[in-house]
């Protein structure tokens, strides 16, 4: 499975409903698992992003669908990064011609 790093910022709507955030997080975890993925880690942060989540998912299409659903709620804006483990990155670099 591929890894993805989700960088999340609350919208004004999302921050005004901050007490619902734990429920939204758990709902997202359930959606990832239902789609065949795994929520690896989640962090509430301060600085440029409010939440950072790392997931594993079978396909890019599943992640796009999950993030479109999350975004359509209006509570957050997000950036999604497809990530490679260090071992995967090293293998890719070693295979360069």
- pLDDT tens for residues 24-61? 999 999 999 999 999 999 999 999 999 999 999 999 99
Do 50 and 7 meet the contact criterion of CB atoms below 8 Å apart?
no
The CATH number of 2-94 is which of 3.10.310.10, 3.40.50.1820, 3.30.70.260, 3.40.50.1370?
Answer: 3.30.70.260
Q: No. of H helices and E strands in the chain? A: 4, 4
Strand ranges inside the chain, DSSP E: 2-10, 38-44, 51-57, 76-83
The Cα–Cα gap between 6 and 97 comes to: 32
The Cα–Cα gap between 94 and 37 comes to: 29
Full-model pTM:
0.92
Express each pLDDT in 5-27 by its tens digit: 999 999 999 999 999 999 999 99
Residue 11 is given by DSSP the state -
pLDDT for res 97: 77
């Amino acid at each position: 499975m591929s890894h993805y790093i989700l960088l999340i910022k609350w919208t004004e709507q999302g921050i005004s409903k901050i007490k619902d955030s734990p429920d939204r997080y758990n709902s997202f975890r359930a959606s990832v698992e239902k789609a065949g993925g795994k929520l690896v880690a989640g962090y509430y942060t301060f600085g440029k992003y409010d939440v950072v989540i790392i997931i594993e998912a079978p396909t890019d299409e599943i992640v796009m669908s999950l993030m479109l659903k999350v975004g359509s709620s209006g509570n957050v804006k997000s950036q999604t990064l497809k990530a490679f483990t260090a071992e995967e990155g090293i293998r890719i670099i070693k295979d360069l011609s």
